[in-house]
Amino acid sequence: MAGTRWLDERQMAAWQGFLEATSRVSRHVEQQLKEDAGLSHPQYEVLVRLAGAPGGELRMTDLAEGLFTSKSNLTYQVGQLEKHGLVRRRSCPTDVRGVLAVLTEEGRDTLRAAAPGHVAAVRAALIDVLEPDEIDTIARALGRVGARLRPPGRDTEETEAAERAAETEAQGAGSSDSGGMSTSSS
Amino acid sequence: MAGTRWLDERQMAAWQGFLEATSRVSRHVEQQLKEDAGLSHPQYEVLVRLAGAPGGELRMTDLAEGLFTSKSNLTYQVGQLEKHGLVRRRSCPTDVRGVLAVLTEEGRDTLRAAAPGHVAAVRAALIDVLEPDEIDTIARALGRVGARLRPPGRDTEETEAAERAAETEAQGAGSSDSGGMSTSSS
DNA sequence: CACCGGTTGTTCAAATTCGAAACGTACCGT
DNA sequence: ACGGTACGTTTCGAATTTGAACAACCGGTG
């Protein structure tokens, strides 16, 4: 038991910084989104993914994939969005149990209106505080960290690659788009 | 409105990486802590701070300071800890309105037992996945990010200083030897 | 065709979280 | 000492989140 490898000062600083940044940034972004567009961050993400999908619709499962939350939570979030008329549900034609979440016109408008403020918040909280080289390091390092903890399940032919190579997260692009406005946009 | 400065690919990757890493790491750590010691992360942090304070006691407000959560939540957390006998409340002798949270023997034992596993989890999820230089960059960069979003209030001679060097609170106390174990140690 | 293991999405109760309002002091200027 | 304001903590109600339990359903097997 005496063999525990504690953290040295550097590592400790990194962990603390990570914790504080995490907490503060997410709070900042979430708050901006809430009072500026009445959306929670997860809800915003849902809209973004839908907007970037063909036909503006996606199955719950696919939606859950990129969204870092549980299935039951997704049901809740979509329920909220539906209640506000930003999304509509439609049962999947090829699979009876499937449900498609469809972005409504109003949802698209809301997203369009919310995007600029959101990006600004992300910049103010994180991006514009970092030097270019820090941005690259963080993208690479944290990308690796996230990938490593990714559930074993799906092998998107890149999951494995990233796992091993872990070199450059290579935006891949292949994954449909993501060019959407997930804090960016066209 | 065309004036919005969207994020380029690098920045986008950094933001996404930050989001995913944030979500996955915190989930990983929290889960380990919960099923290994029955503590939530905030609760663990409370114990750590108390263990590192003279007499193993601290005022609620001081506790809340380093703990990235709201005051009402702190009340709840301490309440939970108290319910499990890891902490005890005592009214402050110098200020009647104040309340001191005191670490009990059992609390100290619980912390000692939980620390190794927690550190291991943090290492597995974050630290050991990073290169030494990445650790330094992250400590510096995220430290700056967190400090910048820190509420204006406090002027602990750190306002400006923290900008450059993330303070690593000294916490010798504890129990004679292996100092605090805020995921680190002496 | 009936059976089985694995999916899909929802529902439920319980735990957590937050913000605003409520309290009971403490400190300050007069 | 007196009134006003600021502080430290808790309480309250509402919103979120989660894990487990469900019910219906797919697909492939024998």
Verify that A115 and A155 share a domain, yes or no.
Answer: no
Instruction: Tell me if B154 sits within 8 A of B162, measured CB to CB.
Output: no
Verify that A93 and A57 share a domain, yes or no.
Answer: yes
Q: How many distinct structural domains can be found in chain A?
A: 2
Domain span holding position A150: 131-174
How far: B65 CA to C28 C1' (Å)?
Answer: 26
Verify that A94 and A70 share a domain, yes or no.
Answer: yes
Helix B132-148 with A132-148: angle, nearest 10 deg: 110
CB contact under 8 Å between B127 and A14, yes or no, is yes
Residue A113 touches partner B, C-beta closer than 8 Å: no
CB contact under 8 Å between A14 and B136, yes or no, is yes
Evaluate whether residue A7 is within a structural domain: no
Residue B25 touches partner A, C-beta closer than 8 Å: yes
Verify that A41 and A125 share a domain, yes or no.
Answer: yes
Query: What CATH number should be reported for the domain holding residue A123?
Result: 1.10.10.10
pLDDT tens string for chain A (186 positions)? Answer: 668 999 999 999 999 999 999 999 999 999 999 989 999 999 999 999 999 999 999 999 999 988 889 999 999 999 999 999 999 999 999 999 999 999 999 999 999 999 999 999 999 999 999 999 999 999 999 999 999 998 765 555 554 444 444 443 333 333 334 444 666 444
Size of interface A-B (CB pairs under 8 A): 218
Q: Residue B91: enclosing H or E segment and its boundaries?
A: strand B87-91
DSSP state of B6: -
Verify that A161 and A78 share a domain, yes or no.
Answer: no
Q: Residue A58: enclosing H or E segment and its boundaries?
A: strand A57-59
Evaluate whether residue B32 is within a structural domain: yes
B164: distance to nearest CA of chain A, Å?
12
Strand D and B102 CB separated by under 7 Å: no
Evaluate whether residue A113 is within a structural domain: yes
pLDDT digits (tens, 9 = 90+) for B123-150: 999 999 999 999 999 999 999 999 999 8
H-state helical runs in chain A: 9-37, 41-51, 60-66, 71-83, 105-125, 132-148, 159-165
Evaluate whether residue A16 is within a structural domain: no
How far: B93 CA to D19 C1' (Å)?
Answer: 43
